[in-house]
Structure 1
Amino acid sequence: MTDLSIQSLDDLIIDEASRPKAPKVAAATDMHRRQGRQLAAIHRHYLMEMAQIGAVLARIEARDTPPEHLKKIVLSLDMAENFRAFGSLCGRECQVLKFHHDIEGADMFPRIEAAGGGMFREVVAKLLSEHEVVHELIIRLGRAADALAEDPGEANFVQAATIYRKLEEVVRSHFGYEETELAEAIGYYLGAV
């Protein structure tokens, strides 16, 4: 296993080209597929939360306010508790996302793998490896947010924003892959999310 903590941000990727395709579940019905797509609704919620953070970053990047005021902006929003409690731009959202991945890795993926007789082993392994990239980005964002809180200057803002944008890109891609490849299996083997 590669130590992601020593990779550069540019090298911290999920490698979409190496994603295996999930086999079709022959007995799955449209109802199973609809049930499996409930995962997309959960993902949409996370993405909406992340979009709020992206809006704050965009406001600063558009020079509506200088980076030195980021802390004040964040603390004036509903995200204030996130910043104080978690020390991160995406605080609670990142913690909830990690919890979501932990549930998938500890419960949902093993159940799909077992019920599918190992047919989904490669897809599950790829998704779990992508979870590791997401978690490394969350750790890096936490460090960048700490640095930004300590010194809310341009350089620290750019670093935090760059990591955040990478996290958002990776999460969007990961969610799309998971929803595409596992919706049928989730509906058929688990009955719903």
Structure 2
Amino acid sequence: MKTLSQIPLALLDVNEAARPKMPPIAGARDEDRRKGRHLAAIHRHYLSEVAQIAAILERIKAGDAPPGALASIVLHSDMRKNFEVAGTLCGHQCAVLKMHHDIEENSMFPALAAQGNSALGKVIDKLRAEHAVIHELLSRLGASAEALATAPDAAQFDQAFDVFFALRQAVLSHFKYEERELEEAIGFYLDGSIRNSVYEAQPMQF
């Protein structure tokens, strides 16, 4: 059996078809769901960064200038400098997403898995498996970002570009699944101290 590192980029995904469903939790209230929806707000923060970086990479690939909303990111007429910018942004994205997943793996997932809900346990196992896929993509993106920093050329940029957009697709799908299946469980099962440890220990936007 191939390890994740041996799977070609085009075939490395989160396997949506294998996702178990979380049935409604008896006794869950709207208040519980409201607390659980805060995870989606955290995800929107990350996806905002992903969207900005995606726009910058697409502009670099097209040889175009950044739109006004991205004026804080200065692109250059020297394409090598733009490739360096791309490497820096990709490296940053690796760091923030890894931090987010580490918080979930070390705090939220163990606390939810300990509740003894078998359906929830299956969802947590699937989310962990998806984290492994995303971490492999992050590892590949990190390597591509380092390569861009040392050899900022078109071939290295194209590789980073392809890995970034594979990562983006995986993260978008993963976040939606996690938000949908854990919305009730987070508010129903987790006490405020655990939720706060997950929600407050998030990195700020760049």
How does the TM-score come out when normalised to structure 1?
0.85
Distance 2:105 2:118 in 1: 15
Distance 2:138 2:157 in 1: 16
Q: 2:54 corresponds to which residue?
A: 54
| 1:69 equivalenced with 2:84 (yes/no) | no
Matches within 5 A, 1:137-176: 137-176=137-176
Distance 2:100 2:80 in 1: 33
Higher mean C-alpha displacement, 104-113 vs 166-175:
104-113
**CA deviations over 1:15-56 (Å, ceiling 9, x no partner):** 101100012111101111011000001111111111221121
Query: What's the CA shift for 1:106?
Result: 2.0
How does the TM-score come out when normalised to structure 2?
0.80
Q: 1:104 corresponds to which residue?
A: 104
Distance 1:66 1:60 in 2: 11
Query: What's the CA shift for 1:2?
Result: 5.2
Q: 2:34 corresponds to which residue?
A: 34
Matches within 5 A, 1:19-30: 19-30=19-30
Identity over aligned pairs, percent: 51
Q: 1:183 corresponds to which residue?
A: 183
Q: 1:157 to 1:67 in 2, by over 3 A?
A: farther
Query: What's the CA shift for 1:184?
Result: 0.6
Query: What's the CA shift for 1:99?
Result: 1.9
Query: What's the CA shift for 1:63?
Result: 1.7
Q: 1:6 to 1:59 in 2, by over 3 A?
A: same
Structure 2 residue runs without a partner (length 5+)? 65-76, 196-206
Structure 1 residue runs without a partner (length 5+)? 76-81, 84-88
Higher mean C-alpha displacement, 138-147 vs 173-182:
138-147
Number of equivalent positions: 181
Contact 2:21 2:119 in 1 (8 A): no
Opposite residue 99 of structure 2, the aligned amino acid is F
Q: 2:45 corresponds to which residue?
A: 45
Higher mean C-alpha displacement, 105-114 vs 181-190:
105-114
Query: What's the CA shift for 1:68?
Result: 2.6
Contact 2:83 2:157 in 1 (8 A): no
Contact 2:83 2:153 in 1 (8 A): no
Q: 1:154 to 1:66 in 2, by over 3 A?
A: farther
Distance 1:182 1:93 in 2: 24
Distance 1:147 1:173 in 2: 28
Matches within 5 A, 1:102-141: 102-141=102-141
Distance 2:34 2:2 in 1: 36
